Chains A and B, each alone.
Chain A
Amino acid sequence: MAVLDRKLRRDLWHLRGMVAAISLVLLGGIATFVMSRVTYQSLSVTQQRYYADQRFADVFVGLVRAPEAVAERLAALPGVNEVETRVTAVANLEIEGFDDPVTARIVSLPEHGEALLNVPWLRRGRLPDPHADHEVTVSDDFAAAHEFGPGDRITAVIKGRRKQFTVTGVTLSPEFMYAIPPGGIFPDHERYGILWMNRRALATALDMDGAFNDVSFSLQRGADARDVIDAVDVVLARYGGAGAYERADQFSHRFITEELRGLATMATVFPVIFLGVAAFLLNVVITRLIALEREQIGTLKAFGYETSAIARHYLKLVLAITSFGLAAGIGAGLWFARGMASVYQTFYSFPYLELYLAPAVFMQAVTVTLVAGLAGTALAVQRAASLPPAVAMRPEPPPMYRATILERAGLRRRLAEPSRMIVRHIARRPLRSGLTVLGISAAVGILMITNFQRDSIGWMIDVQYVLASREDMTVMFTDPTPRRALYSLEALDGVTLAEGFRAVPVRLVHGHHSYRTSVEGVEPGAELQRVLDMSLRPVPIPAEGVVLTEYLASEILRIEPGQMLRIEVLEGRREVLEVPVAGVTRQYLGVNAYLSRESLNRLLREGPAISGARLAVDPARQVEVYRELRRMPRVAGTVVRENSIKQFNEMMEQTILFFSLITALLGAFVAFGVVYNSARIALSERGRELASLRVLGFTRGEVGYILLGEIGLLTLLALPLGFAFGRALSAYLAAAFASDLYRIPLIVQPATYSLAASVVLISFAASAVLIWRRIAALDLVEVLKTRE
């Protein structure tokens, strides 16, 4: 088949424009598929290995203080494998040249040997010397934010006492991959860090010699975490245990897992759409491409080529065409996956990344491509080869056209001849026209996703920080503090308003549903922290009863207003309260329960105590206010709102938006591929007809209008459909992403629609220019010479 192979090579070269456009679409589909699957799988595998290597604990609990002997009782509990007691503390740090409030969680390292559980992973330097009192390692992100390295010094204020430490190394831990400062919502690597130091030194500073205030457990195989948790809570009740929780509730783990779940959703949805569109397009293009070869197929048959030999020839052609896109798609997908996985690696503080290349991913990519390509080929070759050669070699008989419904409905007189041709041509092949519209609208939908996320995130921030939390700073106290402390805060120069709040860690229980969070006691009539109703209007906090975040009420606790909620307080006297649900509040970030501060104080059988305060601060005096706050011994930490917003935006930029950006780029490929190929094939099919029109005196413009008008009309038809599709896709993603950490509202701004439409219209314009050049080059004489 040497000659046919030569034909193959020349045909490929001749078709290079279309081959490029098909490859582009395939590249988009395959690359998205490979990128998202490989990224997701790599991160999952890395997470598992990291947890196993660092012996991430199964159950965690914090407490006030227990003598070390209690550890033996804990170790003896059924189901417990290993127990690791620790001392932890929150400290304020002073960093030269950095005026913002910085807090740190200090975690003890065992006095002897390596940690049994939650082993820090050493990135640089060394762990503190077992006998050194003033050595610490710092968490990687925090070190990176301040460019800390071994030898640097940090001053920490622990329990009001200033101590200077030397940094010996930089460490990471599965426990703090997503580290949130007290009172904060997002990680803030500049203002919050984790420090590891020797237990004895830390215990001394905290008056914790021979005692601990934090325990982690690993469980025996098959043990039920719930049983262990119950037993641990019983043992630690008298030591101020704050309620044990399992790994699934560990905040950092939860967050990473939720994020990976979101990524998994994207890794399913996007590839399905992309690959679907690419496969469909490949199928259509190949079918039409081969339909154009009808005469050649007829000729080959006339000379005695068997149908199977001809089919093989075209299969090879299709394999060659698709292999470019497939290879490029896999290559690009891996390249993107590398980039994306390392973005996530940095963002989630994985110490390393295992790029996991599952053969199944490649097999699937290859299979989908081949099936789509070959099915199209088989169908078209079959159709062309089944014709008697005498028929195949004749030009196709004039296709059946009919006056369309539009025309019959009376538009006939309004449409000029060229417009009628467009309408009839579309109507003659409703399936094909419909598929083209679907392909383009899929591209529109994909393009909308990126901006939908941007829109929604913008809206989330507005709701959170403009409507609900309007403070400039949040101050957390070390312990519940009499409400009159507000006066000293208000007295600070620059503070214009101070509102106290009471927050207690609780477990909310309704039937067999439960959730650990904090209940917040809000001042009635508070201006800085407002509770919003479902229409996002601020509503006064009811004097009695608890208000729950809507997601918490409906999805987690399955409770309705009017029903009784059990609140198990996890500190102090550990009251168990029965409180009616007074209402629900709309909130996109986190889930909480709100009570009036007075009612919460009363339920806790305490005086007017607050856990912290929200401050409105004169922007010009922010730094001074912060300095004053740092001097106050009861202030455990301060969160500046502006930093929170900035952090949140950075986080979103890095993860979701990066993914979306690549998706949008690939979406643009798809849009161009669909439009260009449709136009290009239409030109091949109708070149003769159009040239004949030119001979009859039609101008290039008129002829161009007939061809491009059709694609243009289909593109326009595809826009509203694409908008609907994009919106549905956004709604699906919003629902898939919803968790107690955040809910993405379905917000699609007009700009999102117009951007998606613009990209598609630009693709159309670019295709039109390319096609126009071919129309201009139509050889009129040749057309008339070679056909009756």
Chain B
Amino acid sequence: MDSNVVFRARALTKVYKMGEVEVVALRGVDLDLCKGEFVVLLGPSGSGKSTLLNILGGLDSATSGEVHYAGHDLARATERELTEFRRDHVGFVFQFYNLIPSLTARENVAAVTEIARAPMKPEAALELVGMGARLDHFPAQLSGGEQQRVAIARAIAKNPAVLLCDEPTGALDSATGIVVLEAISRANRSLGTTTVVITHNVVIAGMADRVIRMADGRISGSERNTDRKEARELAW
């Protein structure tokens, strides 16, 4: 096994029970992610991207199959172990930011740095995403892009090994989206954070090391970018 592999998933399946209906979200996914890698997960709605990301991040558990993270067996981890895993190793960015409305930008980041092992200063993390000037604003006082950058700061402030982003630009216009992608890219480059970005915006694939396509709960294709673009070079 490649010593650089951080995540290793085998035969992952996930079945949701929605009331009386069973929805199969993942149908046997095999995947390896390497250290420092920037991966873009492409696929239409319902292809299982988010489910895969959530399982990798310890937010959800698989119905069957194996997931390993640097020696941790996530598939068999207890609730407590998953919590510790998230706390120590994973940073999340969500489509709708999920900031805590009653906390300022700085405090939203501090909420995470307070419980992390070796975090940056909240101000430094916000500086990194270009939000150094809006530390004491509440989410309601920030635009969508600004909120998302705070969310990214919050995710990277703990110096996570993995940064998982679910449609980070989904709710943003393209100019703002690019600013956000720049912030993610900077974190990936400067901190060496393994980064997975879910999107159904094909343009974004241009900035990845590797592009994985999903369809109908399976990985339908995977290709390496020989020419990885900067975020600011993208346009849609």
User: CB distance B111 to A785 under 8 Å?
Assistant: no
Note all chain A residues with C-beta closer than 8 A to B116. 304
User: CB distance A295 to B98 under 8 Å?
Assistant: yes
Q: How far is the CA of A309 from the CA of B111 in the complex (A)?
A: 12
User: CB distance B80 to A306 under 8 Å?
Assistant: yes
Q: How far is the CA of A390 from the CA of B57 in the complex (A)?
A: 9
Q: Is A307 an interface residue (CB 8 A)?
A: yes
Q: Is B54 an interface residue (CB 8 A)?
A: yes
Note all chain A residues with C-beta closer than 8 A to B107. 3, 6-7
User: CB distance B80 to A785 under 8 Å?
Assistant: no
Q: Is A300 an interface residue (CB 8 A)?
A: yes
Note all chain B residues with C-beta closer than 8 A to A10. 102-103
Note all chain A residues with C-beta closer than 8 A to B80. 306
Q: Is B191 an interface residue (CB 8 A)?
A: no
Q: Min CB distance, A399 to chain B, in Å? A: 10
Q: Is A424 an interface residue (CB 8 A)?
A: no
Residue-wise, chain B 57-90 has the 8 Å CB interface mask toward A (1 for contact) of 1011100000000000000000110011111101
A393-B102 contact in complex given A303-B86, A388-B61, C-beta closer than 8 Å: no
Q: Name A307's contact: one of B18, B79, B98, B112 (CB within 8 Å).
A: B79
Q: Min CB distance, B50 to chain A, in Å? A: 8
Q: Name B98's contact: one of A1, A14, A305, A393 (CB within 8 Å).
A: A393
Note all chain B residues with C-beta closer than 8 A to A393. 59, 94, 98
CB-CB nearest in chain A for B80 = A306
A787-B60 contact in complex given A4-B111, A304-B115, C-beta closer than 8 Å: no
User: CB distance B59 to A305 under 8 Å?
Assistant: no
Note all chain A residues with C-beta closer than 8 A to B85. 304
Q: Is A575 an interface residue (CB 8 A)?
A: no
Q: How far is the CA of A299 from the CA of B102 in the complex (A)?
A: 13
Note all chain B residues with C-beta closer than 8 A to A11. 102
Q: Min CB distance, B87 to chain A, in Å? A: 2
User: CB distance B59 to A390 under 8 Å?
Assistant: yes
User: CB distance A305 to B115 under 8 Å?
Assistant: yes
Residue-wise, chain B 34-66 has the 8 Å CB interface mask toward A (1 for contact) of 000000000000000010001001011100000
Note all chain A residues with C-beta closer than 8 A to B90. 304
User: CB distance B98 to A785 under 8 Å?
Assistant: no
Q: Is A535 an interface residue (CB 8 A)?
A: no
Q: Is A400 an interface residue (CB 8 A)?
A: yes
User: CB distance A3 to B110 under 8 Å?
Assistant: yes
Q: Is A389 an interface residue (CB 8 A)?
A: yes
Q: How far is the CA of A389 from the CA of B110 in the complex (A)?
A: 20
A304-B87 contact in complex given A3-B114, A11-B102, A390-B54, C-beta closer than 8 Å: yes
- Would you list which residues of chain B between 105 and 153 have a CB under 8 Å from chain A? 107, 110-112, 114-116, 144
User: CB distance A2 to B59 under 8 Å?
Assistant: no
Q: Is B154 an interface residue (CB 8 A)?
A: yes
Q: Is B7 an interface residue (CB 8 A)?
A: no
Q: Is A786 an interface residue (CB 8 A)?
A: yes
User: CB distance B83 to A299 under 8 Å?
Assistant: no
Q: How far is the CA of A14 from the CA of B139 in the complex (A)?
A: 14
Q: How far is the CA of A301 from the CA of B54 in the complex (A)?
A: 13
Q: Is A619 an interface residue (CB 8 A)?
A: no
Q: Name B114's contact: one of A2, A306, A785 (CB within 8 Å).
A: A2
User: CB distance B59 to A302 under 8 Å?
Assistant: yes
Residue-wise, chain A 2-22 has the 8 Å CB interface mask toward B (1 for contact) of 111011001100100000000
Q: How far is the CA of A7 from the CA of B54 in the complex (A)?
A: 26
Q: Is A234 an interface residue (CB 8 A)?
A: no
- Would you list which residues of chain A between 284 and 326 have a CB under 8 Å from chain B? 295-296, 298-307, 309
Q: Is A222 an interface residue (CB 8 A)?
A: no
Q: How far is the CA of A302 from the CA of B164 in the complex (A)?
A: 11
User: CB distance A397 to B18 under 8 Å?
Assistant: yes
User: CB distance A303 to B112 under 8 Å?
Assistant: yes
User: CB distance A388 to B59 under 8 Å?
Assistant: yes
Q: Is A391 an interface residue (CB 8 A)?
A: yes
Chain A interface residue count, Cβ-Cβ cutoff 8 angstroms: 32
Q: How far is the CA of A415 from the CA of B19 in the complex (A)?
A: 27
Q: How far is the CA of A306 from the CA of B54 in the complex (A)?
A: 17
User: CB distance A6 to B57 under 8 Å?
Assistant: no
A391-B60 contact in complex given A3-B111, A7-B103, A11-B102, C-beta closer than 8 Å: yes
CB-CB nearest in chain B for A6 = B107
User: CB distance A303 to B154 under 8 Å?
Assistant: yes
Q: Name A300's contact: one of B96, B111, B171 (CB within 8 Å).
A: B111
User: CB distance A787 to B96 under 8 Å?
Assistant: yes
User: CB distance B103 to A6 under 8 Å?
Assistant: yes
Q: Min CB distance, B96 to chain A, in Å? A: 5
User: CB distance A400 to B103 under 8 Å?
Assistant: no
Q: Min CB distance, B57 to chain A, in Å? A: 7
User: CB distance A786 to B171 under 8 Å?
Assistant: yes
CB-CB nearest in chain A for B140 = A782
- Would you list which residues of chain A between 7 and 39 have a CB under 8 Å from chain B? 7, 10-11, 14
- Would you list which residues of chain A between 51 and 105 have a CB under 8 Å from chain B? none
Note all chain A residues with C-beta closer than 8 A to B114. 1-3
Q: How far is the CA of A304 from the CA of B112 in the complex (A)?
A: 8
Note all chain B residues with C-beta closer than 8 A to A391. 60
Q: Name B96's contact: one of A301, A309, A786 (CB within 8 Å).
A: A786
Q: Is B203 an interface residue (CB 8 A)?
A: no
Q: Min CB distance, A400 to chain B, in Å? A: 6
Q: Is B15 an interface residue (CB 8 A)?
A: no
Q: Min CB distance, A562 to chain B, in Å? A: 72
Note all chain B residues with C-beta closer than 8 A to A303. 86-87, 92, 111-112, 115, 154
Residue-wise, chain B 8-31 has the 8 Å CB interface mask toward A (1 for contact) of 000000000011000000000000
Q: How far is the CA of A4 from the CA of B112 in the complex (A)?
A: 10
- Would you list which residues of chain A between 264 and 299 have a CB under 8 Å from chain B? 295-296, 298-299
Q: Min CB distance, A61 to chain B, in Å? A: 76
User: CB distance B83 to A304 under 8 Å?
Assistant: yes
Q: Name B86's contact: one of A295, A302, A786 (CB within 8 Å).
A: A302
CB-CB nearest in chain A for B103 = A7
Note all chain B residues with C-beta closer than 8 A to A301. 83, 86
- Kindly name the residue among A301, A303, A393 whose own CB sees the greatest number of chain B CB atoms within 10 A: A303
Note all chain A residues with C-beta closer than 8 A to B202. none
User: CB distance A306 to B103 under 8 Å?
Assistant: no
Note all chain B residues with C-beta closer than 8 A to A7. 100, 102-103, 107, 111
User: CB distance B60 to A388 under 8 Å?
Assistant: yes
Note all chain B residues with C-beta closer than 8 A to A298. 98
Note all chain A residues with C-beta closer than 8 A to B61. 388
Note all chain A residues with C-beta closer than 8 A to B103. 3, 6-7, 10
Q: How far is the CA of A651 from the CA of B88 in the complex (A)?
A: 73
Q: Min CB distance, B71 to chain A, in Å? A: 18
User: CB distance B115 to A400 under 8 Å?
Assistant: no
CB-CB nearest in chain A for B122 = A3
Residue-wise, chain A 739-753 has the 8 Å CB interface mask toward B (1 for contact) of 000000000000000
Q: Min CB distance, A308 to chain B, in Å? A: 10
CB-CB nearest in chain B for A8 = B102
Q: Min CB distance, A470 to chain B, in Å? A: 72
User: CB distance A389 to B100 under 8 Å?
Assistant: no
Q: Name B100's contact: one of A299, A304, A307 (CB within 8 Å).
A: A299
Q: How far is the CA of A11 from the CA of B83 in the complex (A)?
A: 25
Q: How far is the CA of A292 from the CA of B60 in the complex (A)?
A: 21
User: CB distance B92 to A785 under 8 Å?
Assistant: no
CB-CB nearest in chain A for B16 = A391
Q: How far is the CA of A306 from the CA of B102 in the complex (A)?
A: 20
- Kindly name the residue among A3, A11, A307, A388 whose own CB sees the greatest number of chain B CB atoms within 10 A: A3
Q: How far is the CA of A14 from the CA of B138 in the complex (A)?
A: 13
Q: Which 5 A-B pairs have the closest CB atoms?
A: A304-B87, A10-B102, A390-B54, A390-B59, A390-B60
Which A residues are closer than 8 A to B by beta carbons? 1-4, 6-7, 10-11, 14, 295-296, 298-307, 309, 388-391, 393, 397, 400, 785-787
Since A302-B57, A304-B112, A388-B61 are in contact, a sample of 19 more A-B pairs with Cβ atoms closer than 8 Å, ordered by chain A residue number, is A2-B114, A3-B103, A7-B102, A7-B103, A10-B102, A300-B111, A301-B83, A302-B86, A303-B87, A303-B111, A303-B154, A304-B85, A304-B88, A307-B79, A390-B50, A390-B59, A393-B59, A786-B96, A787-B96
8 example contacts (A-B, Cβ-Cβ < 8 A) are as follows A7-B103, A11-B102, A301-B83, A302-B98, A304-B83, A305-B87, A307-B79, A393-B94
